[in-house]
Amino acid sequence: MSEIEQIAPIVTRRLRHEVLYPDQPIDSIILEDDNLGIHFGLYEHNKLISVVSLFIRENDAQFRKFATDKHYQNKGYGSQLLQHIIQYASSEGVQKVWCHARMSAVSFYKKHGFNETGHSFIQNQLEYIRMEKTHLEHTINT
């Protein structure tokens, strides 16, 4: 059974590193404003398998460093965690949730009602695009 908990920023680092930038130094996954974010972890049988960091600024929220253990991808865990942060943001009065999505993840976010905005860009040799969701429901079905 999976559980989602708010966690300290340092707890996100191992999984962020393993999933997002395994070939770079671990410092590459530490965000300058990590201490200003709200960090969530999804646990399956007490094992941390997915993390995300949420940064609320007035009426919008950006989530960053969303990572799910490779052995648990495509099994709905990332969707659970994404739904959780959308609901959390909505309960905090946020009207828009957004991220810089890797192009390889665009279909995942579209499935959850996110839309592409702007143009793609390259960062750390990866292509990204800004995606946002403006109609935040309290319950979301996958």
User: What CA–CA distance (Å, rounded) separates 122 from 140?
Assistant: 31
Which residues are 68's β-sheet partners? 50
The CB-side HSE value for 5 (13 A sphere, CA atoms) comes to 13
Average pLDDT over residues 10-35: 94
pLDDT in tens, 56-113: 998 999 999 999 999 999 999 999 999 999 999 999 999 999 999 999 999 999 999 9
Cβ-contact 131, 106 below 8 angstroms: yes
The CB-side HSE value for 22 (13 A sphere, CA atoms) comes to 6
Task: Give all domains of the chain, ordered by start, each with its CATH number.
Answer: 2-95 (3.40.630.30)
User: What CA–CA distance (Å, rounded) separates 17 from 1?
Assistant: 25
pLDDT in tens, 38-55: 999 999 999 999 999 999
